[in-house]
Chains A and B, each alone.
Chain A
Amino acid sequence: MRPWKVVFLVALGALALLLAGLASCLIPYEWRDALALEVETPDGLKTGRAVVSLSHTVETVIPGIPGGAVHTSLRGEAAVVEVAPGKYLFALLTGREDLAVKAFPEVVRNRTFKQFARAFRDLREKRDLPTELIPMLVTFRDIADPKSVERVDPNNLAAAFGPGVTLKRATLEITDQPITTGIEKYAPSYRKRDDWHAWYLSLPYGDPRKIGPEVFRKGF
């Protein structure tokens, strides 16, 4: 083979590797999951459900060689249940990025990231969530005031909503349904609430009331 042909083939191979690397960086792996809550109340069963999209971009250093980083971005909203008129239960977006991975461990086990990301993309299954996997639950004493936030114990909804109110079931479903929107109709508005930020900063680090608008709606 002539030398210029060898150089050409090596250059072509390098270009193919570069393009493969770029493609793996730029094409995200995406799946959607739906968190649903069922709340038993004296007035009957109340439900809420929210579909979010999880998009993962893999940054590979050298194509074909293990290593690199995965960047996850979530697009969606918190799940909300109107337990009683004007009284809402929110399942926040905190920790929502890796909820599917925890709820479906067998999909992840013994697989590389790309393998289980493809498996999630093709999976259509619903599963009950154990209490420890239920995202942080909150309610507001006054829905117009974000400072009135209260954490809700999934094992004791009655403490926040009164006797006869219990969390019957929480599920996570891998789906391809549209992303749920419309939380602004239920969640308090944080816009222009300077009193809220001053109050928020006054709370110690780790205080469960330290939540902002980003745990209700993200990625839009």
Chain B
Amino acid sequence: MAMSKDLFLALLSMDAYNRGYGAGLTLPNDSPLIGNATVYKDSSEILRDPITKEPLDAPAGFYAVAYKTTKDIGTKETGGVIPEGTTLIAA
């Protein structure tokens, strides 16, 4: 069954809520895969203090994660297609 892109985006936003620091759920081996997308980068990796190298997102109460699609998501009939290789960001 083809999943609509909107449903997939909703799943990614829930995944973002439970990933990174303070995650409520721990996935086996902290898998970077979620359906036809893979986690690319998150704010804890990128936003680091230039001197101490401590993450800057958690103290600010911020978290964002970027996903890259590994296949086309959705169909024309279910509301449109997100092409393979698209970067999606949830915060």
Interface residues of A (CB under 8 A from B): 72, 95, 190-194, 196-197, 200-201, 204-206, 210, 212-214
Contacts and interface: CB of A to CB of B under 8 A. Distances in A.
Given A197-B48, A200-B45, A205 B55 contact: no
B46 A214 contact: no
A210 B42 CA distance: 12
Nearest to A193: B53
Nearest to B41: A205
Interface of B: 22, 26, 29-32, 38-42, 45-46, 48, 50-55, 58
Contacts, number: 41
Contacts of A191: 51-53
Q: Pick the 9 closest A-B CB pairs, nearest first.
A: A190-B53, A206-B32, A205-B39, A205-B32, A206-B30, A213-B53, A212-B53, A213-B54, A214-B54
B26 A95 contact: yes
Given A206-B31, A206-B39, 6 more contacts: A190-B53, A200-B45, A201-B41, A205-B32, A213-B53, A214-B55
